[in-house]
Structures are given as structure tokens and as C-alpha cells.
Amino acid sequence: MTDSDDLQTLVEAVQSTAKYAAIDPGLVRSLVEQELAKGRSTKETVKAVRNKLHQIGSAYQEKPIDYAQLLRRLAALPTELRSPELRAFCLEAMRNHTSTRERLGFLESFYSEPLAGIGPIHSLLDLACGLNPLALSWMPLAADAQIEVCDIYADMTAFLNAFFTHTAVNGSANSCDLLQQIPERPVQLALLLKTIPCLEQVDKTIGRRLLQTIQAEYMLVSFPVHSLGGRGKGMRQNYDQHFQGLTAELPWKVTRFDFPGELVFRLSRP
């Protein structure tokens, strides 16, 4: 058996349970390679990679999301993005993911305040999106807006593509590994919502690389102000200081917005 075969066997072992089966295989492979380079055994490697995948994504899904049920319900709803029935569905569906559920109490102001004066948005890039694209109708989008989103879960991006098709949104959702490849297509607005802290669990340099590489006129970058367990002592201040370090000497004008559960920075080109 070749080294490549051994590597693939470990990737398959990591993804052999439902919790990790839909995660982008390229990400799993790169994490396996990192752990093997530390001299870990096969068993230790599988455990370590699963722990990292939990930190990156699985921790935000308390239980498996029933996409088949969501798709059945979506099919019976109006296709108009801003219809009351569809918006109600989106609000309920976003409760399936911790990151978006935490934002629902201030969803309206979350987009209206940081994006005031820069709409309508003609192109949007949402990285490590989770279920956030279900909030499109709360954003100041142009009718012809081009939407590109990505996440590590193939089942999630398949659902989002079905949502785009149902609502006739000019959008595409793809699996991605931002640790290995950062999109560089120019866009008007990029979203990095609670993304940097997760990815920094694996790569401490990824935050600054994202801010250096993404080609956007504007960017919304956010950080949680409490842990998944509800603890938040000092997190707002700590992430504010961390973000100042990430943006030091980078060509961005930064404006801060404080929300009950989230610290948001709007970056704009000077």
C-alpha cells in the first residue's frame, strides 16, 4: 500500500461517522497530514483531526440538520425572497446552526447598521457561511446581485444551492477549505462572520491572511462575545485587541459596531 493509500484510509476513517461525513475531504486530508507530521499514531491522528473538525464546525451544530425536511418545506413556499412565509421559514431554519441562531434577536439591525450607506450590494462573498445565506432578504442587495458562498459541509452547500434555485437568486454555494485556498475574485462585500476564531484553532496566521487576500470593497468581520457555553467575560475586549493586531498596517478603514452577542467591524478601502 502506498503512502497515498494510507492517507486516504485515514481520511475515510475520520469521515466514517455521520458527524464528519459531509465535511470537505480536502480539509480532512490536510489536517490528517498535519497530525501525521507530528508523529502521531493512526488512532491518535483520527482523534486529533476529529477534535479540530469539531472546533471548526461541528460544535455549532448541536444535532444533525435535517436538510431533506427543510427542502420539502421549502418546495411548498413562495419563491419571492422577501415574502413573509419564506422569511419565517428562513428564521426557523437558521435556528439549526448556533452561529445564526445567536444573531436572530438583532438580525435586522445587524445588517442595516453596518451596511448603511453602501447598498445596494451587487456582489457578495460569504466565507464559512453556515446558514447565514438564509438571511439574504435582510441585506440591502441589488436585484441582480451575484452571491457566492462557501462552507466545509457539502450537505449544507447543496441545501443552499437549492434555496438559491427556489428563490431565483443568482447564487452559488460550494465546499471550501479556506486554510488552503482563499478566494481572490473581486467583490463589493465580503462576510467573515465569526470565522476567524474558528480557523485560528488550526492556523494562527489565517486571520491576517484572509484580511490581506480577500479582494472586497467592504468587509464585515465579526467575533462572538461569549462562548458556546454562554461565558463571555472579557471576550469583547480581547477580540477587539486581537482584531487591531490583525489589521495593523493593512489598508482598511475600520468602523466598530457592538451588538448584544457579536462584535462587528466594517472594513472599507480608504
Domains annotated on the chain, with CATH: 3-56 (1.10.8), 67-268 (3.40.50.150)
| pLDDT at 1 (0 to 100) | 32
Residue 208 has pLDDT above 70, yes or no: yes
Please state, for a pLDDT cut of 70, what percent of the chain lies above it: 96
| pLDDT at 6 (0 to 100) | 84
Q: Where are the alpha helices (DSSP H) in the chain?
A: 3-14, 18-21, 25-37, 42-56, 67-75, 84-93, 98-101, 107-112, 154-167, 195-199, 206-213, 235-247
pTM attached to this predicted model? 0.92
Q: What whole-number distance in Å separates Cα of residue 67 and Cα of residue 84?
A: 21
CA angle 198, 173, 190 (to 5 degrees): 60
- The β-bridge partners of 147 are 124, 171
Return the CA Rg of the chain. Answer: 19
59 pLDDT band (50/70/90 cuts)?
confident
Residue 166 has pLDDT above 70, yes or no: yes
Q: What whole-number distance in Å separates Cα of residue 231 and Cα of residue 221?
A: 21
